[in-house]
Every structure is written in structure tokens, then in C-alpha cells.
Structure 1
Amino acid sequence: MQIYQNTKIAGNQTLYISGQTPNKDEYTPQNIEDQTEFVLEKITTALHEHNLTVENLVKITIYITDVSYLSGVRSKLAEFVGESKPTSTLVVVAGLIDPAFKVEIDGIAAF
């Protein structure tokens, strides 16, 4: 059986983290790096609430509203995931729930 480089075997239990948006205390930053940081902070909080870490993430889906945001998102994601490298899907969408939002990320963690 061949295991592909970007696959992960999930554990018996999973945590599904719904799409996290880039606002905090009714504030949404303008640049993509800051928005991505807000989103990743929310994912970290959700993981920690269940005694999990980024190492438990097995899948993330990233939604961006413009392909030009890709490099900013990738740089923040690389810092966030480190060596864990969950599988990921990136989708460029026409818009998100708030026109100010440039990025949204959801995830699945296994433990």
C-alpha cells in the first residue's frame, strides 16, 4: 500500500473546528497577515480548550477571497503548523460572510 506524502491517519476521536473568521472584539484588520494571525489564534484557542495542540490537526481548509493573498497566508501558516504539516486544501472564493474578511480557515483535529 502506498502512503502519499500529504496524508494523515486520524485517531479514534476528532474535533471539528468550524470556519474561523479574522475579527476580534468587533475589529477586523486590513492586511492578510494580521487577518490570518487572528484566525490561527482562534484555532489555537479551540484546540487548547480540548487539551490539543497544532500537532493534533490533521486537515485544514483555507478560504481566501483573492489569489494575491496566498503568499501572506502561506507565511503565517508555515509558522503556525511548523513540522506538523496537516493536510490542507486552499479555495479561492468570491466572498465571505463579511466583505472585510479576506480569509477563513476550518480544521479537523484527531486524538
Structure 2
Amino acid sequence: MNLGKAISLCRTQRGLTQAGLAARAGLSVSYLSLLEQNKRKDPTLSTIQKLAVALGVPSGILFFLAADQKELSGLDPELQEKLAFAALSLLNAPEPAQTLL
């Protein structure tokens, strides 16, 4: 699993810098950089959820994009293709408006 690659892919697709995403997610830039480089392999589910919200994608999409081919080998190839298409469609869609809690 390469969660850092998935975060970086989503971030760049959204046109965000590391500083921009870190600010949206309430993380430090250095921590985000380490995550993207896979030098920190222990993000909490809470951190992943913060990143997903800041990126405007479901956390499941991050996990799917992070999965290695070996990890997806149990899925039907047609389903893999449909999931990949859905993930890319979400990333290419306009970013949802950010809401304040």
C-alpha cells in the first residue's frame, strides 16, 4: 500500500500545494511531506479522514488508489476497472465547496 502516492496524486489533481493541503487538513507541511514520501507509514484513521475531507474525496478512494496490484488481485478485473474509473471521475470533478463546522 502506498498511501503517500495516493495523497500526492489527489493533491496535485486538485491543484493544491503541500502547504495548501496541510492547512486545510490541520497538519504540518513537514508531516504531510513525510506521508507523501512514505517516510511516515502510521497515519491514524483520523488523519486520513482529515486529508480526504480536505481533498474532497471519500477516504475509500484514497485507500483504493493506494492499493498495490497484489492487494487488488482478489477483485474481479471488471470491478477494478469500474472502481478506477469512478476514482478518476471523482478526482476530475469540480472540488466540492468546503463547509465550516
What TM-score results when the alignment is normalised by the length of structure 2? 0.29
Greater fraction of residues in helix: 2
Q: Name the structure, 1 or 2, with higher relative contact order (CA <8 Å, separation 6+).
A: 1
Return the structure number with greater strand share. 1
